[in-house]
Amino acid sequence: MKNKLINKLKSYYKTFDEINKYKAVEMHEWQEKELRNIFALLVCGSFIGIPSPPVNITTELFPFIESDLKIMLERLDASIDPLGELASIFDAG
């Protein structure tokens, strides 16, 4: 009886641990995407009206930030419904 309860608790803990690891990875990926978006906005700040670095620095960074620019363009699509995207990350619905 005791061993059965201990085994159930272990399996429950293992499942709970796997779910939390998955959520942590998902949240980390979301945060990385946000930071890359912010970096792209800082480099190409003239698009939104904030001061940007000198043009020669920006043009030298363009080959390295291609993926960041793609993320920035994806974020523009998500800006229509930011609350919906946040709810999908936290699985609120």
**Tens digit of each residue's pLDDT (9 = 90 or more) over 34-64:** 888 888 878 877 767 777 778 788 788 888 8
Q: How far apart are CA 1 and CA 22, in angstroms?
A: 32
pTM listed for this prediction:
0.53
Amino acid 19: pLDDT: 81
Question: Which of 5 and 52 is assigned the larger pLDDT?
Answer: 5
**Tens digit of each residue's pLDDT (9 = 90 or more) over 17-31:** 888 888 888 888 888
Query: Which residue type, as a one-letter code, is found at position 86?
Result: L
Q: What is the 3-state secondary structure (H, E, C) of 32-50?
A: HHHHHHHHHHHHCHHHCCC
**Contacting residues for 26 by C-beta, under 8 A, at least 6 apart:** 89
Find the Cα–Cα–Cα–Cα dihedral 91, 74, 28, 17, rounded to 10°. 30
Phi, psi of 36 (to 5 degrees): -65, -35
Angle at 82 between CA 77 and CA 84, to 5 degrees: 105
